[in-house]
Amino acid sequence: MLVYVLKRLLYAVAILIVISFLVFAIMYKAGDPTELLLPPDATHQDVVALKQYLGLDQPFHVQYWRFLTHAIHGDVGRSFIYGQPALQVVFERLPATLELASTAMLISIILGIPLGVIAAIKPQSFSSQGIMFFSLLGISIPVFWTGMVLVLVFSVILGVLPSSGRGALFYHTSLLTLDGIKHIIMPAITLALFQLALIIRLTRTGMLEVLMEDYIKLARAKGLPRRVVVFVHALKNTLIPVITIIGIQFGQLIAFAIVTETIFAWPGTGKLIIDSIQNLDRPVVVAYLLVVATIFVFINFIVDILYTFVDPRIRVK
Amino acid sequence: MKLHENEFIAEYAESKLAVAGALLFVIFILLALAPSIFSSQNPYDLRQLALKNSFLPPGSGFLLGTDGQGRDILSAILYGLRISLFVGVASTLLSVFIGLLAGLISGYCGGLIDTAIMRLADLQLSFPAILIALIIMALWGQGISKIIIAITVVNWVYYARTARGSVLAEKEKDYVQAAQAMGMRAPVIIIGEIMPNVLAPIIVIATVRIANAIILEATLSFLGLGVPITRPSLGALIANGYQILFSGYWWVSVFPGLVLMLVVLSINLVGDRLRDVMNPRLKR
Amino acid sequence: MELLRVDGLQTHFFTRKGVVRAVDGISFGLKRGEILGLVGESGAGKSITGFSIIRLIDPPGRIVNGKILLEGRNLLELDAGAMDTIRGDHISMIFQDPQTSLNPVLSIGRQLVETICYHRREVSGKEAQARSVEMLRQVGISSPLKRLRSYPHQLSGGMKQRMVIAMALINNPKLLIADEPTTALDVTIQAQILMLMKKLCEQYDSSLVLITHDISVVAQMCHRVAVMYAGRIVEYGKKSDILYNPLHPYTRGLIACLPKLNETRDRLYQIPGVMPSLLDLPAGCYFRNRCPDTGDNCLEYPELRWINGRHVACHRVK
């Protein structure tokens, strides 16, 4: 077991190194930032001096090595806009995004799995068809559209919810204050909708397939009550692949938060990256990519390990 | 065989909703192919626009109203539909082609090539699509061709994986081994014998992913990183009207949004039904 | 009194292509402790018969007619909850493929104990565990206590089937239905499993309906035999009568197919033709198109008649 964990850890680190390389290579190719940093009347000497100072005149692999060693110490440069270390800029806004993504994830799981199970047990019933149509809508509506409609209805027309910003915090979370909840509910639902629909469909399909298996038939042949067959025998088998997907989807949520944060002016990393791309604030873009990549790799790692606990077939022999 | 006697179509048609979806999709395609038929103006031709027509609500001479430049929303939607569909379909076709190729080679050859391609795919899959597309757009600039490339890069992986899985399953089957015994060369076997069997699941996935591609393009355009504003897709149109949404000019954003939703919905209906009909595991 | 009496059972499947008359009017009886062999080729309706008795027929299938009497009680009149109490307790079933019969994510012990606990509320967890261990020992699984914590994928095919048998017999059912229990197993294991089943049935005084396409299995195990063809029974009686003196042409064909040690042949005998599709059954006797001995009255469907100590459905037998 320990060997397996170590193997996955090494794999994760390797992926991170590859990603850092890719990020660096892309940024390298993206062009020369010196022009942005200097006033327009700078002389050629100034340009050369700056390049030397930033180490941009060195060959590629030297630059990459510098980048890597600095990055491990937490230094990926300073934001051109904010003047602070880029990583710090990202980390300041990360909790907001994580809170949004986690809330959305919770909503989609708590609602999604039961709805998916219901839709699978009686596939032809009215409520099932309703749930499935709802889930179809959910994956057909782009995130930004959901956000727009919610804002239109609840902020503009009804005026009951605020259309932007994060609410009052209590112990670093907006979920413990009424104001906070009012601010987070629309962005969270916007972000959660696609995920919710996905989970409903996955759970339903998975459960339908599981219910056709022989061992379910045998469970019925043993006279086990229906609820036991569904919620014990079938559900566990259904959830195993769903858990993997959910884990990976958390990364997607953080990414889609980009759109949601833009619409709701939620002060997270998503808004940051859009602004930084448009403002050509390279260090922040790099910092964001590295942080997000690390989160993804870490999540995949956790999901891998979790999987071995949940599915006895892959438990280490 | 007559159309209504074909078993596949008969089974597909059991769901009225899916039939409606297919019809809707065909209508959209037809509209996109010849937008000039139904639109009263070419919204990109500045000479046809008149500022005095700006911000007219729906019904006042222009069926769906006009935007800030006097552009007829209906016409803008029709032309935008064409761009949205074009980007969606083109990127899907391209990524199917690349993915299929990669998956077939990967599955058939195995070994180092297989590992390399699959590792690449895994790496890419662990990154959310929107981030990858963002990076590509941010670096290489905007434009329809860049968007198509971005979406293609994001999506090829799904087809590669499916194709590879199918190839691995088919590789062991008798007809492949017979072909090998007969001395057929590898590319011939792959294309001639294996590929037809691989196409079925790919078609199902591709149908659904056209919807995804359209949404991705719309999202990028909405963020301002997509198609240029001079030839807006539906997503860009929505973004265009977003700011003025709160001032009460709702029709500029809402109508393109509804159309976008209907397009994607119809594709998903078709894709869903195709998948249910072709899924052997759900039959007994 | 008979333990089980099936009377005029008809189970049909209502598909898009038409009505599949999988089981179309069969009747037989079973006494306590008896072993009945239900024989026939694939598609004859034997498995469906088994599922019908335990009432595990799912849409588009439906039991449309008939009676299934367990100790006089008609099972077809029971509601779902009552039928649940019967399954696993009074009637148990063993499926064909042990690889797919067990839930891969639940432990062996869990799957055994739950069978007891849902039927015998008064039994404590510990007692149920002890009984499970005992049952595993009886089916010949070594280190049964350790095995309780194992998972199905850790067992071999033969062991899995033994486990399924343990689950089926753990509540001492009166009737056991075994659907091709050895077909998916290695030849070397088949005999072991069959002997195990016979021994346990005798020990627990359970009756057994053994569904198989293999006549040699029937020869070893059964007291009585029912031969099915295209959804109906064509011959039914004591094993010795039917196997050593088959009357129905189909039964004779089946037995002729078996290679015999005291015979020399160049080719194995095959019954020519195939069983008719259950969607499109011919008029008259279903076996007519393959029968070596047809006559004019074969155009009328032959009902079962009592001839020479058994039931036979053939006009040509006197």
Model ipTM? 0.88
Per-residue model confidence as pLDDT tens digits over C126-159: 999 999 999 999 998 888 888 888 899 888 888 9
User: If residue B23 lies in a helix (H) or strand (E), which one and from where to where?
Assistant: helix B16-33
Taking residues C101-113, report their average pLDDT.
92
Nearest Cβ partner of A140 from B129, B211, B245? B211
**Among the listed ranges A96-110, B11-25, C37-51, C179-193, which one has the minimum average pLDDT value?**
B11-25
* Model confidence at A59: pLDDT above 90: no
- Token pair, residue B23, equals 């019809």
C-alpha B6/C-alpha B18 separation (Å) is 17
Nearest CA in chain A to B283: A212
User: If residue C18 lies in a helix (H) or strand (E), which one and from where to where?
Assistant: strand C18-30
Q: Which chains touch A (3 or more CB pairs under 8 A)?
A: B, C
* Chain A residues touching chain B at CB-CB below 8 Å: 15, 18-19, 26, 29-30, 133, 136-137, 139-145, 148-149, 151-152, 156, 163, 208-209, 212, 248, 251-252, 254-256, 258-259, 262, 273-274, 277-278, 285, 289, 292-293, 296-297, 300
> What confidence score (pLDDT) does residue C188 get?
84
pLDDT band at A34 (very low <50, low <70, confident <90, very high): low
Of A19 and C29, which is predicted with more confidence? C29
User: If residue C37 lies in a helix (H) or strand (E), which one and from where to where?
Assistant: strand C35-39
- Percent helix, strand and coil across chain B, each rounded to 5? 75, 0, 25
Q: What is the mean pLDDT of chain A?
A: 83
Beta-carbon separation of A221 and C118 below 8 A: no
> What confidence score (pLDDT) does residue A200 get?
92
Taking residues B40-69, report their average pLDDT.
72
Residue A300, CB-side half-sphere exposure with 13 Å CA sphere: 22
Of B62 and C314, which is predicted with more confidence? C314
Taking residues C246-261, report their average pLDDT.
83
Q: Please state the separation of Cα A8 from the chain's center in Å.
A: 21
> What confidence score (pLDDT) does residue C276 get?
82
Chain B residues with beta carbon closer than 8 angstroms to that of A296: 126-128
Of A37 and B268, which is predicted with more confidence? B268
Q: For chain B, positions 42-71, list CB contacts with chain A under 8 A.
A: none
> What confidence score (pLDDT) does residue C211 get?
94
- Percent helix, strand and coil across chain A, each rounded to 5? 80, 0, 20
Q: Do the beta carbons of residue A201 and residue A135 sit within 8 Å?
A: yes
Beta-carbon separation of C88 and A311 below 8 A: no
C-alpha C92/C-alpha C86 separation (Å) is 9
> What confidence score (pLDDT) does residue B239 get?
84
C-alpha C102/C-alpha C159 separation (Å) is 11
Burial class, A315, CB count within 10 angstroms (exposed 0-12 / middle 13-18 / buried 19+): middle
pLDDT band at B83 (very low <50, low <70, confident <90, very high): confident
Q: Which chains touch C (3 or more CB pairs under 8 A)?
A: A
* Model confidence at A33: pLDDT above 70: no
> What confidence score (pLDDT) does residue C18 get?
86
pLDDT band at B284 (very low <50, low <70, confident <90, very high): very low
The torsion defined by the Cα of A187, A190, A195 and A196, in degrees rounded to 10, comes to 110
* Model confidence at A207: pLDDT above 60: yes
C-alpha C147/C-alpha C135 separation (Å) is 12
Taking residues B227-245, report their average pLDDT.
81
Taking residues B82-96, report their average pLDDT.
90
Reference C36, options C234, C275, C239, C316; nearest CA is: C239
Nearest CA in chain A to B276: A205
Q: What is the mean pLDDT of chain C?
A: 88
> What confidence score (pLDDT) does residue A37 get?
63
pTM value is 0.82
pLDDT band at A193 (very low <50, low <70, confident <90, very high): very high
Residue at A20: amino acid letter = S
* Rama region for C71: left / alpha / beta (φ>0; ψ in -120 to 50; rest): left
> What confidence score (pLDDT) does residue C55 get?
93
Taking residues B130-134, report their average pLDDT.
78
Q: Can you name the residues that pair with C68 across neighbouring β-strands? A: C6
Of A220 and C275, which is predicted with more confidence? A220
Q: What is the mean pLDDT of chain B?
A: 79
* Rama region for C172: left / alpha / beta (φ>0; ψ in -120 to 50; rest): left
Per-residue model confidence as pLDDT tens digits over B102-122: 888 887 777 888 888 888 887
> What confidence score (pLDDT) does residue B179 get?
76
Taking residues C94-122, report their average pLDDT.
91
**Among the listed ranges A262-271, B40-49, B144-153, C240-249, which one has the minimum average pLDDT value?**
B40-49
Give percent of chain A above pLDDT 70.
Answer: 92
pLDDT band at B280 (very low <50, low <70, confident <90, very high): low
pLDDT band at A317 (very low <50, low <70, confident <90, very high): very low
Beta-carbon separation of C87 and A221 below 8 A: yes
Per-residue model confidence as pLDDT tens digits over B142-189: 778 888 888 888 888 888 888 887 777 777 777 777 777 777 776 777
> What confidence score (pLDDT) does residue B14 get?
77
Taking residues A245-261, report their average pLDDT.
84
Reference A20, options A66, A53, A80; nearest CA is: A66
In terms of residues, how long is chain A?
Answer: 317
C-alpha C80/C-alpha A204 separation (Å) is 24
Shortest alpha-carbon distance between residue A317 and chain C (Å): 10
> What confidence score (pLDDT) does residue A55 get?
66
* Model confidence at C77: pLDDT above 50: yes
* Model confidence at A217: pLDDT above 90: yes
Give percent of chain B above pLDDT 90.
Answer: 5
Q: Do the beta carbons of residue B208 and residue B267 sit within 8 Å?
A: yes
> What confidence score (pLDDT) does residue B30 get?
86
> What confidence score (pLDDT) does residue C227 get?
92
Q: Can you name the residues that pair with C92 across neighbouring β-strands? A: C176
Q: Can you name the residues that pair with C91 across neighbouring β-strands? A: C87, C175
Mutate to test the interface with A, among B87, B120, B130 (most CBs of A within 10 A): B130
Taking residues C49-64, report their average pLDDT.
92
Taking residues A310-316, report their average pLDDT.
70
Distance from the first to the final alpha carbon of chain B: 26
> What confidence score (pLDDT) does residue A20 get?
80
Of C69 and C275, which is predicted with more confidence? C69
> What confidence score (pLDDT) does residue A13 get?
84
Residue A97 makes CB contacts below 8 A (sequence gap 6+) with A254, A257, A261, A266, A268, A269, A270
Q: Do the beta carbons of residue C84 and residue C72 sit within 8 Å?
A: no
* Model confidence at B1: pLDDT above 50: no
Chain A residues with beta carbon closer than 8 angstroms to that of C85: 223
C-alpha C223/C-alpha A49 separation (Å) is 102
Taking residues A67-95, report their average pLDDT.
82
> What confidence score (pLDDT) does residue A29 get?
66
**Angle formed at CA C88 by CA C83 and CA C91, multiple of 5 degrees:** 75
For the ranges B111-115, B246-250, C111-115, the maximum mean pLDDT occurs at C111-115
Q: Is A215 helix (H, G, I), strand (E, B) or coil?
A: helix
Give percent of chain C above pLDDT 70.
Answer: 100
**Among the listed ranges A72-81, A124-133, C172-181, which one has the minimum average pLDDT value?**
A72-81
**Among the listed ranges A28-42, A62-76, B68-82, C101-115, which one has the minimum average pLDDT value?**
A28-42
pLDDT band at A239 (very low <50, low <70, confident <90, very high): confident
Mutate to test the interface with A, among C105, C154, C180 (most CBs of A within 10 A): C105
> What confidence score (pLDDT) does residue A30 get?
63
**Among the listed ranges A211-220, B4-13, C40-49, C214-223, which one has the minimum average pLDDT value?**
B4-13
Of B173 and C69, which is predicted with more confidence? C69
Chain A residues with beta carbon closer than 8 angstroms to that of C95: 214, 217-218, 221
Q: Can you name the residues that pair with C132 across neighbouring β-strands? A: none
Of A314 and B205, which is predicted with more confidence? B205
Cβ–Cβ contacts within 10 Å for residue B260, how many?
Answer: 26
